[in-house]
Structure 1
Amino acid sequence: MHQLSQSNAPIYEALIKYKSMRVVPFDVPGHKQGKGNPKLTEFLGKSCLSVDVNSMKPLDNLCHPTSVIKEAEELAADAFGAKHVFFMVNGTTSAVQGMIMSVCQKGDKIIMPRNVHRSAINALIISGATPVYINPGVSKKLGIPLGMAVGDIEKAIKENPDAKAVFVNNPTYYGICSNLKAITELAHKHGMYVLVDEAHGTHFYFGDNMPISAMEAGADMAAVSMHKTGGSLTQSSFLLTNCDVNIGYIRQIINLTQTTSASYLLLSSLDIARRDLALNGKEIFKKVTSLAEYARKEINKIGGYYAFSKELIDNDTIFDFDTTKLSIYTRDIGLAGIEVYDILRDDYGIQIEFGDIGNVLAIISVGDRELALERLVSSLSEIKRLYSNNKSDTFDHEYINPEVVMTPQNAFYSNKISMSIGESSNKICAEFIMCYPPGIPILAPGERITQEILDYINYAKEKGCLLTGTEDINIEKINIVEEL
């Protein structure tokens, strides 16, 4: 094999060469390097539009890479310590679905925590695989779902020895990590694949003193959102593989749903971001960690807020914590996280990642500056002073254990009836309801609708959470499975 150099960026270099050739385009896209859409060119820039091009021999083809994309994949695999890396332009959603659909077929069981992203349950609807849900730990104090206990996974494996895979969120949105190495060893001992939703863990591969990464733990596949903490463009991701599943087969699975018109803007951003992380990642994430630690310390000085960290570690459902995550519990000032989220944006011009019932999350990355964090801290201090109230009306937990009655696929494709959400108690849900972000379903197809869930949905609505998932755009009606 030829010598790999992490200072190379093959896709980016091929695009630069293409630009220098001054090619006259009689192919798609129809804007013809920006000439056909001056407003768009003015908005995004001539340089950007000139490389928004179609696949061709000098630029390779993502559906079947043989040259520059293949070389870029090899460099990414080397950087992440994987056997192979697939460039994904349909987001980490398609990487998660690619993992599940590569190892599970209709009727196959997959062990997974219920607080998965909707993309994982969507993969079950498409493939017909059957989930064996493990309820994650729940923090009574913070009201959030935690990681998976090794003991719970062991029990699920014993009860379902025919399961094909174990699926793990690592880290969770809040930065909480499970004991990935122990889970991987346990699953492998029973002949099961380990698939990791590592959407929020790009930096685990490059920073010092980070929680263990999926590839280092020996997992079989991982879906990594390069655009979240790795610096690439939105919607660009990697699917890392480290197993015996045929690479050509995985690519066929990916090609079932991924576009045949891959954006070279997204592909080149992955290539350039990987190069930057491989060369400078340690330094980048050292800075990110220190910025997050600084903000955490300052927020905890305010009082009333709790920016949590490694002190939560219990070596079980909280095996480790990602200190780059600035997760802040807000209920002690009498405000739901979503309320703090809205006030920060509307009154202070600060957009954070998300707010839920009890917490807010600020993503800290290489693009942040100390001055901006000082502004966040002072705004939170002022919000406490102006809006703090008693906390009697706050809902005390974010995660509700579901009762699964049918497989997601059977429920989603069943004969359905639309009814008012308020009247749906005890029915079987045939679609999703979730707060977005983070996109973890409150209800998924095949689950029993309970009064506790309905109370939670009403509370989330009252507090201003963005609810999504139902056919009804107003989230007033819900599709239920027609009972015979």
Structure 2
Amino acid sequence: MNRDDQMRAPIYDALETFRKKRVVPFDVPGHKRGRGNPELAQLLGERCVGLDVNSMKPLDNLCHPVSVIRDAEQLAAEAFGAADAFLMVGGTTSAVQSMILSVCKAGDKIILPRNVHKSAINALVLCGAVPVYVNPEVNSMLGISLGMEISQVEKAIEENPDAVAVFVNNPTYYGICSDMRSIVRLAHAHGMKVLADEAHGTHLYFGKNLPVSAMAAGADMAAVSMHKSGGSLTQSSLLLLNTGVNGDYVRQIINLTQTTSASYLLLSSLDISRRNLALRGEESFAKVTEMAEYAREEINSIGGYYAYGRDLINGTSIFDYDVTKLSVYTLGNGLAGIEVYDLLRDEYDIQIEFGDICNILAYISIGDRIQDIERLVGALADVERLYKKDRTGMLSGEYIAPKVVISPQKAFYSKKISVPVKESAGKISGEFVMCYPPGIPILAPGEMITEEIVEYIIYAREKGCSMQGTEDPAVENLMVLTE
């Protein structure tokens, strides 16, 4: 990586040049540098609304970049060790879907773990590809699904030699990593592409002593959430390509769904954040790791909690662990993760990333300070002292192995009727049901609904999880196939 080159931020520089020229706008957006919407200008500031501009020759165009945006993409590719990179303004959802749509067409098989983000299954609804799930092993105490074991991936490949790709989470939301290098070798030996969802892995490209990044492991494509651990604005991400992938074709796929009115606020934030990570990422993520490890040690000394980390590594289903993830098991205190999540927000003004049935996740990144960590640890100690209760009758587990009956696309577009959740067992789901975050479906279109799944949905709903995916906003009814 050329450090001098990485000091440049071409989109940022072009916007600064544009701002100084005081150009009279007879183009969109219609707020005209905020003058037409003074409340918006007051909320976001004159400088921000003044840079909310449309694509124009001096600023390039994301759909077909030839100057400053292309330059920024090439700098991003170099910083991340990729052959090519695309700036994405539709979030990592858009990047994940572009990866899948680039390699899959209707009827193609794709091998993937079932604990994927809903964006991956939504891509199968769009293109008609068929999922072949490698059902991951589950840690029954923590109630989380683990990584893809090589033996299971090999079995799926042998049983489905016509599959076109293998899709891997690197890492999972909870910090668990599969053996990326071995999966890549195995898939490539059978002529399959490897796609990585690195929504939670931006830092793997810059931090030391962290799990391997997808590009370094030889994966063909990776979707990276710069806005999560990388510091860019919400909804801005990168799609990385390795050598041997046709970038011009991928750009065409991206342009099928991505906006033609890309936000320069998002684009410039990607440009500036890439520069920041390239120049200061290693030291920044060393501090993040240090803070997360300190928090883990302090939380484990409280009692009742289990902040897990590298101690989980077993070389197979947990090949490696991302220590920047502060995942904490809460059931030892008789409290569901979502209950601790609510208590931290309502009683202590602390907003963590999510709470599920068994765990909470506090996202530690380059913007955190040690005093914030101390406040979180103190609040968790308080919660343990004041709210601890008997755990009898509490469910554990966020993953129930599904039975896929028909493809997500066919189920999504089939005739459906609405039935009460309590009466849905034995029917085929026509929609998604999930707790968000983390956005891993409990049910996806085309899957058989079981009594266990019904019980889990009702329990999660009653505990206060934010339930999504269903037509019914209250999640009391499910859309099921009629035939």
Above 0.5 in TM-score? yes
Corresponding residue for 2:422? 422
2-structure distance, mates of 1:338, 1:291: 23
C-alpha distance in 2 between matches for 1:287 and 1:68? 32
Q: What is the root-mean-square deviation of aligned Cα atoms in Å?
A: 1.0
State the match for 1:108 in structure 2: 108
- Per the alignment, residue 184 of structure 1 pairs with 184
* Counterparts of 1:438 and 1:394, CA distance in 2: 20
- Is the Cα contact below 8 Å between 1:419 and 1:480 reproduced in 2? yes
Aligned residue in 2 for 1:458: 458
Instruction: Give the Cα–Cα distance (whole angstroms) in 2 for the partners of residues 58 and 393 of structure 1.
Output: 63
Q: CA–CA distance in 1 between the matches of 2:221 and 2:245?
A: 10
The CA distance in 1 between the partners of 2:169 and 2:63, in whole Å, is 28
Q: Which residue is 1:71 aligned to? A: 71
Query: What does residue 344 of structure 2 align with?
Result: 344
Q: Residues 352-372 of structure 1: CA distance to partner in whole angstroms, max 9, x if unpaired?
A: 000000000000011111111
Distance 1:275 1:232 in 2: 11
How far has the Cα of 1:245 moved from its partner? 3.0
- Identity, in percent, stands at 66
Greater shift, 381-390 or 217-226, is seen at 381-390
Taking the aligned partners of 2:239 and 2:431, their CA distance within structure 1 comes to 27
- State the Cα distance separating 1:217 from its structure 2 match: 0.2
Mapping 1:321-332, distance limit 5 Å: 321-332=321-332
- 2:283 matched to which residue of 1? 283
Aligned partners of 1:60 and 1:4: how far apart in 2? 23
Partner of 2:247: 247
Q: 1:404 is aligned with what amino acid?
A: V
The CA distance in 2 between the partners of 1:363 and 1:209, in whole Å, is: 19
SS in structure 1 of the partner of residue 185 of structure 2 = helix
**CA distance in 1 between partners of 2:377 and 2:446 (Å):** 43
| 1:278 Cα deviation from its structure 2 partner | 0.2
Q: Measure the CA separation in 2 of the matches of 1:245 and 1:188.
A: 13
Are the structure 2 counterparts of residues 243 and 161 from structure 1 closer, same or farther at C-alpha, using a change threshold of 3 Å? farther
Q: What is the TM-score normalised by the length of structure 2?
A: 0.99
Cα distance, 1:4 vs structure 2 = 7.2
Structure 2 residue matching 1:5: 3-state secondary structure: helix
Question: SS of 1:302's equivalent?
Answer: coil
1:192-236 Cα shifts (integer Å, max 9, x gaps): 000000000000000111100000000000000000000000000
Separation (CA, whole Å) in 2 of partners of 1:325 and 1:342? 20
Give the conservation status (yes or no) of the 8 Å contact 2:3–2:279: no
Paired position in structure 1 for 2:384: 384
Q: CA deviation at 1:25?
A: 0.2
Unaligned runs of 5+ in 1: none
Provide, for residues 336-383 of structure 1, a one-character-per-residue CA deviation record: whole Å limited to 9, x for no partner. 000000000001100000000000000001111111111111110110
How many pairs does the alignment contain?
Answer: 482
Question: Which string of whole-angstrom CA distances, capped at 9 and with x for unpartnered residues, describes residues 239-292 of structure 1?
Answer: 000142321111111111100000000000000000000000011001111111
**Cα separation, partners in 2 of 1:59 and 1:418, compared to 1, 3 Å:** same
Return structure 1 stretches of 4+ with deviation > 6 angstroms: none
> 3-state DSSP class of the match of 2:32?
coil
What is the distance in 2 between the residues matched to 1:64 and 1:336? 48
1:459 counterpart SS class: helix
CA contact under 8 A between 2:328 and 2:361: conserved in structure 1?
A: yes
Pick which of 326-335 and 390-399 moved more: 390-399
- The equivalences for 1:161-310 within 5 A come to 161-310=161-310
Q: Secondary structure at the match of 2:166?
A: strand
The 2-side partners of 1:239 and 1:3 are apart by 22
| Paired residue type of 1:147 | G
Is the alpha carbon distance of 1:351 and 1:3 closer, same or farther for their aligned partners in structure 2, counting shifts above 3 Å? closer
Q: Give the SS at the match of 2:351.
A: coil
Q: 8 Å contact 2:412–2:430 — kept in the other structure?
A: yes
Whole-angstrom CA distance in 2 between matches of 1:364 and 1:173: 13
Q: Distance in 2 between matches of 1:3 and 1:314?
A: 37
SS in 2 for 1:382: helix
Contact 2:418 2:478 in 1 (8 A): yes
Deviation (angstroms), 1:174 = 0.4
Instruction: Find out whether 1:42 has 2:42 as its counterpart.
Output: yes
Structure 1 residue 476: Cα displacement: 1.1
Aligned equivalents of 2:78, 2:240: Cα separation in 1: 11
Is the CA contact (8 Å cut-off) linking 2:144 and 2:399 kept in structure 1? yes
CA contact 2:329–2:359 (8 Å) conserved in 1:
yes
| 1:172 Cα deviation after fit | 0.3
Matched residue, 2:374: 374
Give the gaps of 5 or more residues in structure 2: none
Check whether the contact 1:221–1:243 (CA below 8 A) recurs between aligned residues. no
Distance 1:295 1:6 in 2: 33
Corresponding residue for residue 395 of structure 1: 395
TM-score by length of 1: 0.99
Q: Which amino acid aligns with 1:183?
A: I
Q: Contact conserved, 2:176 with 2:322, CA < 8 A, in 1?
A: yes
Matched letter for residue 101 of structure 2: M
SS in 2 for 1:351: coil
Residue 425 of structure 1 contacts residue 451 of structure 1 at CA under 8 Å; is this kept in 2?
A: yes
Q: Distance in 2 between matches of 1:134 and 1:186?
A: 15
Q: 2-side partners of 1:479 and 1:219: how far apart?
A: 37
1:413 is aligned to: 413
CA contact (8 A) 1:4 1:75 kept: no
Q: How does 1:136-155 map to 2 (within 5 A)?
A: 136-155=136-155
Q: Return the offset for 1:3.
A: 11
